[in-house]
Amino acid sequence: MKEARSKLRRLHLLPTGAQFRIYRRSIDARRRDAVKIVYSVAVCGEFSSPDTAFLEKNDISVLRSDRPSFTPKSSAPLNAAPIVVGTGPAGLFCALLLAENGYRPIVLERGGDIAERVSKIDAFKRSRLLDPETNIQFGAGGAGTFSDGKLVTRINDPLSLYVLERFVEFGAPEEILYLAKPHIGTDYLQIVVERMLDRIEALGGLVYFHNRLEQISLREGAVGSVMTTLGEMPAGALVLATGHSARDTYRMLMKSGLSVVPKPYSVGMRIEHLQEEIDAAMYGSFAGHPALGHAEYALSHNTKQRGVYTFCMCPGGQVVAAASTPDSVVVNGMSHHARDGKNANSAIVVSVFCEDYGNTPEGAIALQEKIEHDAFLAGGADYAAPLTTVGDLHSGEHRTHPTRVRPTYMDGEYYRLCSPHLFLPDFAANGIRDALPAFGRKIHGFDTPYAVLTGAETRTSAPVRILRDDARLAVGTHNVYPCGEGAGYAGGITSAAIDGIRTALSIMEKNGPSLN
């Protein structure tokens, strides 16, 4: 702050009563012997019209910090309340914005609330009894609730800051507003989701748990009502924010006549290292410094045919059992805000192209299902996870039990040694094996023989896309809005939230609130 104040004073730009705050905090670890914490400082005040070229020359940018204002732009009322299907970030933010503007949305969630999700996930770990409706994937907050809660997005959208501010409003740590790689953590996300749902209901919206979308009927391009677990409900507009794992819903929508196409995705395994060894490899002698926290990484390797990359890295986290259908094994990563677990974990995944599964939406879904069921069988058909060490992946023997790195799936004891070729396509198993030495050259020790690989990671993104037009309407419809990651239009919490907001704005552009 002192340096920023001095710089502005030296340039004769410091206004009276200026307020300073941290705008961005990042870590520069390109040199392990000179790790730096880099700060950008925002200054708020009454500035005289500055010369842009002069500012850029002195490494100063002009920020526009006005919070967006959203109001309905149409006076034509909906004939019934809008229905939002799904309570992941897309559905939550869409429903919240609609509720704040008087639309009283009806929110459908096939799974249970936060408390029930926690109970069901714990029961699955203890007894191997999977609830196909309330689990890691389905329930309040969607799949992101039980994740690391990363808020990094590759899209450059002015709504990104708005999303972060809303998260803070509902209980997320304020540091997410300035960290270069913000994350909330599953413990805070659970609080945030509950408070957002409470706000929607306080504003006149209705939230129905254990209420799955069963059927839609299009008449002259419009949906007048939907069939749900709890019966028929009128719909002035229908927002499909289903999440990427609602395969039964995808199949129903295809039968209903919506245009659904396949898309590329990725599959692979989760790798675990000791977090302290990742810290040492990336931060050198600075590892363990409280100002740095735990190290994060993002790695990629290009074969001649496919990309291999790390995805959803969870410092100090755990590998979780993320199945949502019986007789399948799926893994994902999760961290608490403190990231205080012993292991680091990340997906290592390989690109899957449309031609790999026949270039049909049915084939895209079927390949995911086959991998997950084969992983279930490879693990012994009792929800134990198939596992191998990096050393055994290279030797092909798959006989070495974990030693230094203890697996965290199902609390660490529920696994079975086997070859990834038993459940992954050969191109995926071979791609991971061939990429590990390249990753080891980038992060020393990444390919250490005792690192642990657990499968199968399949839910990297939706396997299909529900086609929509520039008004965000499903192709050929007048009031159906595919939205978020499950519809194939986002990748992560922040981008899904933004897609939900822009979907709400599209509804508000076309119609005002229902008069009923």
Q: Which residues pair with 468 in a beta bridge?
A: 474
Give the rounded distance of the alpha carbon of 451 from its chain centre.
Answer: 25
Q: How far apart are CA 83 and CA 235, in angstroms?
A: 6
Residue 205 has pLDDT above 60, yes or no: yes
Q: Which residues pair with 265 in a beta bridge?
A: 352
pLDDT at residue 16, as a whole number: 77
Q: How far apart are CA 387 and CA 407, in angstroms?
A: 9
Taking only the tens place, the pLDDT of each residue in 42-64 is 888 777 666 767 777 777 777 66
Mean of pLDDT over the chain: 94
Half-sphere exposure of 285 (CA within 13 A, CB side): 2
Q: Residues 173, 165: contact at Cβ < 8 Å? A: no
Residue 93 phi, psi dihedral angles, 5° rounding: -70, -35
Instruction: Provide mean pLDDT across the span 148-171.
Output: 90
| Percent of the chain whose pLDDT exceeds 70 | 97
Taking only the tens place, the pLDDT of each residue in 300-345 is 999 888 999 999 999 999 999 999 999 999 999 999 999 999 999 9
Residue 65 has pLDDT above 60, yes or no: no
Q: How far apart are CA 312 and CA 298, in angstroms?
A: 9
Taking only the tens place, the pLDDT of each residue in 224-251 is 999 999 999 999 999 999 999 999 999 9
Assign 69 a pLDDT band (cuts: 50, 70, 90): confident
DSSP string, 145-161: GGS--B---SS--THHH
Taking only the tens place, the pLDDT of each residue in 75-94 is 899 999 999 999 999 999 99
Q: How far apart are CA 426 and CA 111, in angstroms?
A: 35
Q: How far apart are CA 364 and CA 251, in angstroms?
A: 12
128: left (phi over 0), alpha (psi -120 to 50) or beta: left
Residue 344 phi, psi dihedral angles, 5° rounding: -100, 145
Give the rounded distance of the alpha carbon of 21 from its chain centre.
Answer: 28
Sequence spans of domains, the chain? 2-57, 83-259+467-510, 265-457
- The better pLDDT of the pair 49, 516 is held by 516
Residue 186, token pair as written in the block: 């599953």
Taking only the tens place, the pLDDT of each residue in 100-134 is 999 999 999 999 999 999 999 999 999 999 999 99
Q: Which helix (H) or strand (E) holds 83?
A: strand 83-85
End-to-end CA distance of the chain: 54
Taking only the tens place, the pLDDT of each residue in 394-410 is 999 999 999 999 999 99
Q: How far apart are CA 456 and CA 373, in angstroms?
A: 10
Residue 280 has pLDDT above 80, yes or no: yes
pLDDT at residue 67, as a whole number: 62
pLDDT at residue 155, as a whole number: 73
Taking only the tens place, the pLDDT of each residue in 364-381 is 999 999 999 999 999 999
Q: Which fold has domain 83-259+467-510?
A: FAD/NAD(P)-binding domain (3.50.50)
Q: How far apart are CA 13 and CA 48, in angstroms?
A: 8
Taking only the tens place, the pLDDT of each residue in 460-503 is 999 999 999 999 999 999 999 999 999 999 999 999 999 999 99
